[in-house]
C-alpha cells in the first residue's frame, strides 16, 4: 500500500501547485491514498468548503488540520458533515468535527487517520499523549484498521519525536506538521513505524514559512501596523512524504521525502 502525505498547504501558491501536480504524483508514484494538512489553505488561515472540494477532486482523500482550523467561520458549520476533514483529536470534548476517522481505500483497505495537536507553545488542548493512548485502546492495527496514520501538528521537534517513539509499532506512520520546514530525518523506527519530524509545506518557499518575507521581517523588527501576515504569492513547491506499507503487518516498509517545484532543484 502506497501512501502520500502532503505538508501544510499554504495559501494560493500551495493550492495551485497541489491542484496542478498531485494527479501526476499519484500516477507516477502509484499512490493509493493521499493525506494533506490543509489548515493554512485559505489565504494562510484556515480552510473553506470550496477549497476542501477542490483538494478532494484533485486526489486528496483526507485533510488534516491544526491550530488554524477555525480561522474561517464557515468551517464549524460543515466540518461535522464532512468526515474527510479532521480537526485535532485532543481538542476539548464537544468541539465540532472529528479527530479520527476510518476510511476505505479503493483497494478495500481500512485506513484510520488520526489528527493530533501538540501541547507545547500551542493553543490549550487535552494532553496529547494520554489522548492517543486512550484512542489506541479501541483502535488496534490489523484488528480495527489495516493501516493507521497519525499527523502530529506541533511546534517543537522533541514533542513530535517523542510521539513517534511512543507510537512505534502501534501505527503505520507518524508525520509532523505545523513548522512548514521539511526535516531530513525520514526513517523507519525500531518497531516498524515510519516517521518524519515535519513534512514541510506546499507553498512559496521564497518566504518566511509561507508568509510574505517583507511583512514577516517588519513584524520581527517590531515595525508598527504589522498584524496578520499575508501569504507569499510566488511559485509553489510541494513537500511531501511517501510511505510504502506492508499489507500483512500494517507497518512501514519504506519512507522517502519528495519535493516537486522550483525551490529544491
**68 in active site:** yes
Pairing between strand 187-188 and 194-196? antiparallel
First to last CA, the chain: 28
- Give the DSSP letter of residue 16: H
Cell of 107: 483497494
Count of other CB atoms within 10 angstroms of residue 81: 10
| CA dihedral of 96, 53, 201, 91, whole degrees rounded to 10 | 10
Distance CA 96, CA 86 (A): 10
d(CA 252, CA 24): 23
Catalytic residue among 68, 153, 178, 180: 68
Q: What is the rounded distance in angstroms from the CA atom of residue 146 to the CA atom of residue 25?
A: 23
Q: Which residues are catalytic?
A: 68
Amino acid at each position: 500500500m502506497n501512501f502520500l502525505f502532503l505538508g501544510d498547504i499554504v495559501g494560493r501558491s500551495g493550492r495551485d501547485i497541489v491542484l496542478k501536480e498531485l494527479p501526476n504524483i499519484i500516477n507516477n508514484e502509484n499512490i493509493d491514498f493521499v493525506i494533506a494538512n490543509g489548515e493554512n489553505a485559505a489565504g494562510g488561515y484556515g480552510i473553506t468548503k470550496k477549497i476542501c472540494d477542490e483538494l478532494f477532486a484533485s486526489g486528496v482523500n483526507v485533510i488534516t488540520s491544526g491550530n488554524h482550523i477555525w480561522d474561517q467561520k464557515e468551517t464549524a458549520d460543515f466540518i461535522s458533515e464532512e468526515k474527510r476533514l479532521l480537526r485535532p483529536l485532543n481538542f476539548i470534548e464537544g468541539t465540532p468535527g472529528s479527530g479520527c476517522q476510518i476510511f476505505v481505500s479503493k483497494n478495500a483497505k481500512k485506513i484510520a487517520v488520526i489528527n493530533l495537536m501538540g501541547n507545547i507553545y500551542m493553543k490549550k488542548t487535552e494532553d496529547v499523549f494520554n489522548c492517543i493512548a486512550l484512542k489506541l485502546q479501541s483502535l488496534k492495527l490489523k484488528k480495527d484498521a489495516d493501516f493507521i496514520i497519525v499527523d502530529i501538528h506541533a511546534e517543537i521537534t522533541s514533542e513530535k519525536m517523542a510521539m513517534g517513539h511512543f507510537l512505534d509499532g502501534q501505527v503505520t506512520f507518524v508525520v509532523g506538521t505545523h513548522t512548514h520546514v521539511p526535516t531530513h530525518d525520514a526513517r523507519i523506527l525500531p518497531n516498524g513505524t515510519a516517521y518524519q519530524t515535519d513534512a514541510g509545506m506546499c507553498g512559496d518557499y521564497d518566504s518566511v514559512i509561507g508568509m510574505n518575507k517583507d511583512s514577516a521581517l517588519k513584524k520581527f523588527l517590531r515595525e508598527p501596523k504589522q498584524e496578520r501576515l499575508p501569504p507569499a504569492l510566488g511559485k509553489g513547491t510541494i513537500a511531501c512524504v511517501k510511505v510504502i506499507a506492508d499489507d500483512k503487518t500494517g507497518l512501514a516498509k519504506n519512507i522517502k521525502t519528495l519535493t516537486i517545484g522550483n525551490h529544491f532543484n
